[in-house]
Chains A and B, each alone.
Chain A
Amino acid sequence: MLALAVAAGASWARPPAAGVFCATYPTSPFCVGQQPACTLCHVAPPQRNVFGASLEPHLAPGEPRPLSDGDFAMALPAALHAVEQADADGDGVSNLVELQQGTLPGDPRSIPQTSTCAAGTNPQYDVCHRDAKYTWKKLLLDFCGVSPTWAQVQTFLSLSDAAKQAFLDTELDRCLSTEFWLGKNGQLWRLAHPKVRPIGSLKAGEDEGQIPLADYDDDYALFAYTQIGDHDAREVLTAKYFVQRTTNPTAYSTTPLKASQPMDLAHRSGNMTSAWTLVDFVMFTALPRNAAAQMYRAYLGLDIAKQEGLYAVAGEPRDYDAKGVTQQQCAACHATLDPLSYPFRNYNGIGGGGTAQYLPNRIEQGFSTLAPNITQIPEAGYVLGQPVANLVEWGQVASNSDAFARAVVTDYWKFLMGHPPTSDELPEFNVTWRAFQTSHAFRVQKMLHDLVHTEAYGAP
C-alpha cells in the first residue's frame, strides 16, 4: 500500500488539480506533454508548500471545508489568478513568471535561468555560442569515453565551420558503436541500471549468482537494442521478441525464442514482462503494484511515490486485495496506481504455476484465499488515464505517449548535461523530444544527433 500521511484538517492533492491548472495555463512548461506533479503546491501532500499555502485563502473563501472535488475545481482558477503577481517563495520572481517559465513558485532554489553572455574575450572557449571544439571534445568523452588526441585536434581545427559540424555527426555515429557506449557495463547499461535494478546474487546465466532466479542481462540487451541503430525505442515496452548479445565486438540481435525467457510471445510486452521484471518486481504478490509503479517510473519518468503522473480513475481504488487503500490518505495515489496494476494480474512472479509466465487464472489458482474479492481483479486497467484491456495494450499506450518521449529524452539530457532541463533549456528540450516522437519516429540515435547540436550541449 502506498499511502499519504494523515493530518487533522488536511487538504489533499486533488485529483482534478493538475487538469484545472493546465486548463488555466495551457502553455506553461508544466503542461507541455505532461501535467504538473503535486509538488507544485505541496511539499508532500497534505503538507502544502508556500505557494500552495498562499492559494488556500483564495479557494472559495467562506465555503465550508473540505471542499468537494467539484467545488475545488471551480475555485482553483480564480485562486491561481489571485496570487499571480505575488512571490510566494520570495525568490524575486513572481508566481506567474515562474509558472510561465516552468520553475517552482514554492521553491526559492528554483528560479528561471538566464544565461547571459559574459563580457570580455576568451582565448580557449566561445562562451556565448556553440563552440565546435568544445562540443567535439565533450561528445567524444560522453560517447567514446576519451578525449581526442592533440593530433586529432589539429586536424579538426583545420576544417571549415560547416565541415566541423558535419564531422560531429560522423564522430557521434562512430562513438555510438563503441564498447564504451553499448558494451556490457557501458554507458547504455548505466542508463538502464535504475530501470532494471539488478541484484547480483539472484542473477542467472553469465556471472551467475548464488541463487539464480532470472537473467537480467536480457533486459539490458533489449534496452540497449532499442537505443541503437535504426531501432524503435518504444519496443523496450512492446517487443514481441528477445535480444541476444554477442561479444568481441558487442552486437545485439533479435531472436524469437530465448531459453532464459519463459514468457510466450502473445503476452510478451518488452521488458515489462521479462523474467527479471516479473521475478524481482512481482515476486509473490497478487496485485503487483510494485511492478506497475516501477515501469511507470522507469520508462515514463513518473514516480507515483513523488506524486507524479496521478490520473485518478473514477471509482478507484476498489481494494480487491483488502489492503485498506480506500482510506482517504491512500486513495489519492491508489486511484491511479491500482488500475495501473490490474493488467499485471496474470503475470506470475516466482513459483506458483510457473515462474515469469502468463497464467490465465493466476489469482484464482494462487491467491483466492487472500481476500474475499481478490478474484474480481480485472485484467483491464488504465494507464495515463486511458483504458487498456491488458498489459500488451498498456505497453502500447504508454510507449506512444508524450510521457514516454519526454522520459527518454530526459534520461539522455540528464546523462549528457548533468541535470534535468533548466528553464532556459526548456525550449530546446521541448523541440528535441517532440522531434524524437514525430519526425524521428522514436529513434534514439537520430534524437542524439539533435541533442548534441543544441546550444545547451555545445555552449560552454
Chain B
Amino acid sequence: MRLDLIGLCAAVTLCACPPSVTTITVMDGGIDPAFDGGVAKSARGVLRFKGPERLNNEFAQALDLPASYVCNELGQYPCTSLVHVLPLGGVDPYGSGLYEAAGATSVTTPMVVDRVALSACTARAGLDLTDPANAVLLKGLVVDAQSKLVDPQGPAAKQVIVSLYRRALQRNPTQPEVDALLKLAVDINAKGEPRAAGDWIISACFVVLSSAESVFY
C-alpha cells in the first residue's frame, strides 16, 4: 500500500508540477562507523548562522524543491523573505532601517527554523507521494493498513536516512545516527499515530534539516 498522505499532497498546491529531481543512489552501505575517539575541538570555535537566504537555498537543494516551495505561512506568505526575516538573521533596510543583521540568533530563531524545515519536509513528502516514480526520499517504503511502516528497520528506511544525510549535510550518516532515526520510526509506530509512516518520513527529514550542523557553518 502506498503511504496514505494524499491529503498532505493536496495541501501542497504545487504537486501538479513536480520539479525535476536529482537522484542519489546509495551504491555502497552509505553508513560510516561510529567515531568513539576523542574529537579534537576547533580552537577558533567560529560558527555563523546561515540566515534566511542560505537556509532557503539549502533546504531547496537538499530536497530538490524550487526555492519558492520551501516555506509559505498560511500557504502564501514566504517565510524566509517576508514573514520571518529578522528572526532568521536577515535585514529590513528599506522598511525599518535595519541595515545590518543582529549577528546572533534570537529567542524565536529556533522555532522559526523548525517551521521552515518542517514545511520543506512536508512539501517534499507530498511531492514524493504524488509522483512516486520520481520520489526523492520515499523509495521502496512499504506501509501497512494502519499507515505504519511494515519494516521500520529495513533497508528502505536506511536508504531514506542515508539519502537525507547526503542531501542535507553532504556526508554519510554514522551508525549511531542511523540507529537513532530508525528508533524514531519504531517509537512513532508505537505511538499508534494515524499517519505514523508519514510522520516518520517528515520527522526524520526535520531532524536532519534542522540540526545544528545544517543551520550553522
CB distance from B10 to the nearest CB of A (A): 30
Q: Which residues of B contact A122 (CB under 8 A)?
A: 39-40
User: Is A124 in contact with B171, judged by CB distance below 8 angstroms?
Assistant: yes
User: Which of B48-56, B107-115, B201-209 makes up part of the contact surface?
Assistant: B48-56
Write out, one digit per residue, whether chain B residues 85-112 have a CB within 8 A of any chain A CB (1) or not (0).
0000001011101011001000000000
User: Which of A79-87, A112-120, A356-364, A386-394 makes up part of the contact surface?
Assistant: A112-120
Using a CB-CB cutoff of 8 Å, which residues 99-127 of chain A contact chain B? 115-125, 127
Does B191 belong to the interface (CB within 8 Å)?
no
Cβ-closest chain A residue relative to B48: A418
Does B46 belong to the interface (CB within 8 Å)?
yes
CB distance from A177 to the nearest CB of B (A): 16
Does A460 belong to the interface (CB within 8 Å)?
yes
Q: Which residues of A contact B39 (CB under 8 A)?
A: 120-123
User: Which of A25-33, A45-53, A144-152 makes up part of the contact surface?
Assistant: A144-152
Cβ-closest chain B residue relative to A186: B53
User: Is B57 in contact with A146, judged by CB distance below 8 angstroms?
Assistant: yes
CB contact under 8 A between A459 and B170, given known A146-B54, A198-B94: no
User: Is B99 in contact with A115, judged by CB distance below 8 angstroms?
Assistant: no
Cβ-closest chain B residue relative to A141: B217
Write out, one digit per residue, whether chain A residues 182-226 have a CB within 8 A of any chain B CB (1) or not (0).
000000001001100111100100010000000000000000000
User: Is A418 in contact with B103, judged by CB distance below 8 angstroms?
Assistant: yes
CB contact under 8 A between A459 and B100, given known A145-B53, A180-B53: no
Q: Can you add 8 more A-B contacts, CB < 8 Å, to A115-B44, A118-B40, A200-B94?
A: A127-B41, A145-B54, A146-B54, A150-B170, A150-B171, A180-B53, A197-B93, A199-B94
User: Is A117 in contact with B61, judged by CB distance below 8 angstroms?
Assistant: no
CB distance from B175 to the nearest CB of A (A): 13
- In the complex, A116 Cα to B44 Cα: how many Å? 9
In the complex, which of the residues B42, B94, B103 contacts A125, with contact meaning CB atoms closer than 8 Å? B42
Does B37 belong to the interface (CB within 8 Å)?
yes
Q: Which residues of A contact B (CB under 8 A)?
A: 115-125, 127-128, 137-138, 141, 145-151, 153, 180, 190, 193-194, 197-200, 203, 207, 417-419, 459-460
Chain B: residues with Cβ within 8 Å of the partner, total of: 32
CB distance from A187 to the nearest CB of B (A): 8
- In the complex, A153 Cα to B24 Cα: how many Å? 13
In the complex, which of the residues B43, B95, B103, B166 contacts A150, with contact meaning CB atoms closer than 8 Å? B166
Does B4 belong to the interface (CB within 8 Å)?
no
Does B128 belong to the interface (CB within 8 Å)?
no
Q: Which residues of B contact A146 (CB under 8 A)?
A: 54, 57-58, 61
CB distance from B38 to the nearest CB of A (A): 4
User: Is B100 in contact with A194, judged by CB distance below 8 angstroms?
Assistant: yes
Q: Which residues of B contact A194 (CB under 8 A)?
A: 99-100
User: Is B100 in contact with A120, judged by CB distance below 8 angstroms?
Assistant: no
Q: Which residues of A contact B43 (CB under 8 A)?
A: 115-118, 127-128
Cβ-closest chain B residue relative to A417: B46
Does B158 belong to the interface (CB within 8 Å)?
no
The secondary structure that dominates the B interface is: loop
In the complex, which of the residues B37, B57, B170 contacts A145, with contact meaning CB atoms closer than 8 Å? B57
User: Is A153 in contact with B42, judged by CB distance below 8 angstroms?
Assistant: no
Write out, one digit per residue, whether chain B residues 18-49 have a CB within 8 A of any chain A CB (1) or not (0).
00001010000000000101111111101010
Best-buried of B41, B95, B167 by chain A (most CB within 10 Å): B41
User: Is A147 in contact with B94, judged by CB distance below 8 angstroms?
Assistant: no
- In the complex, A125 Cα to B37 Cα: how many Å? 14
User: Is A460 in contact with B100, judged by CB distance below 8 angstroms?
Assistant: no
Which 6 pairs show the lowest CB-CB distances between chains A and B?
A200-B94, A150-B166, A193-B99, A120-B40, A115-B43, A146-B57
Best-buried of B41, B43, B57, B167 by chain A (most CB within 10 Å): B43
CB contact under 8 A between A197 and B40, given known A146-B61, A150-B170: no
Cβ-closest chain B residue relative to A425: B44
User: Is A137 in contact with B93, judged by CB distance below 8 angstroms?
Assistant: no
User: Is B170 in contact with A149, judged by CB distance below 8 angstroms?
Assistant: yes
Cβ-closest chain A residue relative to B167: A150
Q: Which residues of A contact B97 (CB under 8 A)?
A: 197, 199
CB distance from B58 to the nearest CB of A (A): 6
User: Is A147 in contact with B40, judged by CB distance below 8 angstroms?
Assistant: no
User: Is B44 in contact with A121, judged by CB distance below 8 angstroms?
Assistant: no
User: Is A149 in contact with B95, judged by CB distance below 8 angstroms?
Assistant: no
Q: Which residues of B contact A148 (CB under 8 A)?
A: 170
- In the complex, A193 Cα to B94 Cα: how many Å? 9
CB distance from B205 to the nearest CB of A (A): 16
Q: Which residues of A contact B48 (CB under 8 A)?
A: 418
CB distance from B124 to the nearest CB of A (A): 16
CB distance from A218 to the nearest CB of B (A): 15
- In the complex, A190 Cα to B37 Cα: how many Å? 42
User: Is B24 in contact with A198, judged by CB distance below 8 angstroms?
Assistant: no
- In the complex, A198 Cα to B35 Cα: how many Å? 51
- In the complex, A203 Cα to B58 Cα: how many Å? 32
Q: Which residues of A contact B42 (CB under 8 A)?
A: 118, 125, 127, 460
CB distance from A445 to the nearest CB of B (A): 21
User: Is A418 in contact with B46, judged by CB distance below 8 angstroms?
Assistant: yes
Q: Which residues of B contact A190 (CB under 8 A)?
A: 91
- In the complex, A180 Cα to B93 Cα: how many Å? 17
Q: 22 A-B residue contacts at CB 8 Å?
A: A116-B43, A120-B37, A120-B40, A121-B37, A123-B39, A127-B43, A128-B40, A128-B43, A141-B54, A145-B54, A146-B54, A146-B61, A147-B61, A147-B217, A149-B170, A150-B24, A193-B93, A197-B97, A199-B97, A200-B95, A203-B94, A417-B46
Q: Which residues of A contact B94 (CB under 8 A)?
A: 198-200, 203, 207
User: Is A127 in contact with B100, judged by CB distance below 8 angstroms?
Assistant: no
CB distance from B210 to the nearest CB of A (A): 15
CB contact under 8 A between A138 and B93, given known A193-B100, A197-B99: no
